[in-house]
Structures are given as C-alpha cells and as structure tokens.
Amino acid sequence: MASLTIRNLDEDIKQNLRERAAQNGHSMEEEMRLILASLDQASEALSPKRSVASVPSLSPFSSEVLEGKRILLIISGGIAAYKSLDLIRRLRERGAHVRPIMTEAAQEFITPLSVGALTADHVYTDFFSREDEQDVGHIRLARECDMIVVAPATANLMAKMAHGRADDLASTVLLATDKPVLIAPAMNPHMWHNKATQRNAKTLSADGIYFVGPESGEMAESGEAGKGRLSETFTIISKMLEILDDRPKPLLGRTAIVTSGPTHEPIDPVRYIANRSSGKQGHAIAAALAELGASVKLISGPVNIPDPVGVDVVKIECAEEMLDTALQLLPCDIAVMVAAVADWRVAGAAGEKIKKKKGQSVPTFDLVENPDILKTVGHNKKRPSLVVGFAAETQNLIDNATAKLNKKGADMIVANDVSPETGIMGGDRNRVRIVAHDGVDKWPDLSKEEVAMRLAKLVAQKLSELSV
C-alpha cells in the first residue's frame, strides 16, 4: 500500500521523500510508514481523552454521498492543523478526492510532505508558482471542485474572507470560487469571542459561508479552555454530507422516536439487571431515518458505541425513564422501538451496596414487571402514524412476533433470532423477518446498517401509502 501511495505522489514530494529517506538510512516505503506512524502518535498525544460513546459516528452510507466528490481542502496555520491529516484520511476512505492548499503558516505546523502523502496529490502552497499559475491555477482550483473546506480556519483567514482580501493563494481561491464553502474555525477562546472575529463570522454567514464549530473544551495552551476547538473529524464530515447530499429525502418534515440499547434496572448502587444488547441496530436505524430527512430523537439506554451524527440523543438508565421520555416526545410520525428493555426490576432497590456476610444466606429479591413501552405507545391516544416494534427471540420466532404484533398495537414487528450461536446480539450483522398484518417478509443476512436503511425506506413507503 505504501508503494502505491508513493507512486501517486507529486514529483517534488517524492524527491523530498527520497532525500529524507536517504538521510535516515531508510527505504522510501519505510520512511513513509514512519511518517504516518508519527502522525498517529501526535494525534493521540494532542487529542483529549474521550470515551468511545462520546465520539460521533457516521453511517456507512456517507460513502454514497462522498464517492467521487472533489474536495478542495484549505489548511491554515494553527496547532489544530494536525487534525486535517485525519480529515484527509477519512474523506479518502469514503471515496472523495482531496486536493490540498496550505498557507505559509500551516507549513510551520505540518509539512507538505505529510499532506501530499495522504492526499496522493500535489500540495499547492505558492501563489506565485510558475508551474501552478501558468494556466491561471488559482481560478482552476476555485472551480475544479465540488466543495471547499477550510479546516482549520484561523481568525486571520476569516478576516481576509470577510473583507474580500486576496493576498495569498488560499484567500484568492476563496474569493474566486462559486462552489459551497465550509469553514471550521479553530483558535484561542479569547480570539473567537473577540468582537472583530464575531463581526467577521456574522458577515461570512450572511454571505452564505457554512460553519461547523468551533467546539468548547481544553486548548493546546496550558490552562486555556473555552470555545475555540476545531470540530471533530466526523462532525466536519457530517456537515459536509448535509451540504452535498442531494439524494431524495422522503421523510423530510417527519418526526421520529427510536429506542435503543438495554436498560439497567438497579439492585443496589453498583449492581443491576440488564441484557446483552449493544444498541448497534437501534442507533443505526436512528441514523438511517435521519439520512432520509426525518427529525429523530434517539432514547438510548447505557451503551458503549458512538452517538449517531445528526440525531438528538436522550440518554436514560432504566425502563421507567425510557417510557417517560417516549411519552414526553409524543405526538410524532414514527416510533421504532428497538431497545431490549428488561422485563423485570427489583421491587425496592437497596440504597447502599448489599454486602456479603459470613453465615448469611444469599439475599432474595422481589421482582416486579417493567412497563411495556411498545404496548403503551402503540395504544396511546397520541399514537404515532407508524409504530414498529422488535422481537428478539430464541424460539418460535414467527409465532411470538405475530402474537406481539397483535397484542402491542404495532404496524410491523422486526423479528430476529438472537440465540447465542447466531452472534446477532452484540454483533455487526442481522437476519430479520418483517412481520406485518399482511404477511411475513424474510430479509437476507445483512449488516445492521443495511438492515437500518432498508427499514427506513420501508417506513417511508408505508407512511406515503397512509397519506394517499
């Protein structure tokens, strides 16, 4: 893979790589691997520690939007410039072609060699380059793309854009383009909140420039915190998708609630009753509904997976909280109840950790039945237009799902066999049956994301039929 990347590099970058490899006594491929490894280490060292669930995720269907898209990435100066390397990588993973421009200041933080290695393209740095400008290169750059992304965008570059200045390659291209422009600001919080920067941001927004971020958090400078951090890579890509996605949105204007994951029913402050649900299927369905245009509220039990981008997530612990939240969100157009809710809870959870005592018998607990969330929503006076339930069974799949369909007031039941040997509970694939009042539809083995999109399209079709 390294040799393929090297073959695609611009000749100037390849020559720099040859010289660097020779100085260090390495082959070009080994030198390339060391460069990429150092970038990963720098990213890990500079990034704040975050739990997996706090990092936003993208649907695999993002590749449908970005495949073949030409992205002009402008990297301006600032410590956050290193994050642009991950942005390049993630965009290329999704089939986008990335052409980079680096300002003079950006080259003080990361090298054109690194950027060129990841983009496999020429890195544009010099406004007065004879080679690049012999055919009015800055105009060509401004037009031969589907979108321009500025990440990071410094206060200085924002000021140039707001006042129409064109004194370097980046600002000239931005002034000459007729393509959508997305900027991701990154700077010290005091710089972001400065009145001049805020005036410039308002001017740019009024001019039709798209913004993503900045985010709040700790800065690279010791002891500095506040609003000014560059948005995470997937957050930037999510905004790009929002701007570029011209696919049909059959659920635009519709509202949906989705429940996902397990519930934790407390026994005492450290123990609980739960199940093995990962939340992967429910989160994927929420993302798929949002991709088709729906405004989605995801009610999630405790999971260790990322929140889907573009979805409003409400996090709960137990079944009663999940039910209360769902009822508060009614009325809506769609309810997809995917969560594996614990059937029982302890009648009276202990306020302190239950301790083992020598000679004392094992404690016993009185269990009470948890509320039936699907049934409550399915028979509610504010019932959604379309109610979809899930049946996770280990035996008599269709019979149990059909009984659930009739009892719970649902329009469809998505039934799956979660016997341990299937690997579905907690896995990445699913094999479902759609049980409806007019029959059973058997779907093939699919990824959970594919099940989600297929179900979202079915929901859109059913809603369309209801409105005819």
Residue ranges of E strands in 133-248: 147-153, 181-185, 210-211, 215-218, 225-229
Strand order in the sheet with 97-102: 97-102, 70-75, 147-153, 181-185, 210-211
Distance CA 205, CA 442 (A): 49
Q: Helix 83-93 crosses helix 28-46 at what angle (to 10 degrees)?
A: 110
Query: Beta partners for 434?
Result: 414, 441
Radius of gyration for the chain, computed over Cα atoms and rounded to the nearest angstrom: 26
DSSP state of 123: P
Task: Find out whether the peptide bond into 371 is cis, omega within 30 degrees of 0.
Answer: no
End-to-end CA distance of the chain: 53
Are the beta carbons of 285 and 335 closer than 8 angstroms? Answer: no
Tell me the DSSP string of 237-266: HHHHHHHH--S--TTTT-EEEEEESB--EE
Residue 113 identity: L
275 is catalytic: yes
Residue 386 dihedral angles phi and psi, to the nearest 5°: -135, 125
Q: Is 340 helix (H, G, I), strand (E, B) or coil?
A: strand
Per the residue annotation, which of 8, 194, 275, 400 is the catalytic one?
A: 275
The set of catalytic residues is 275
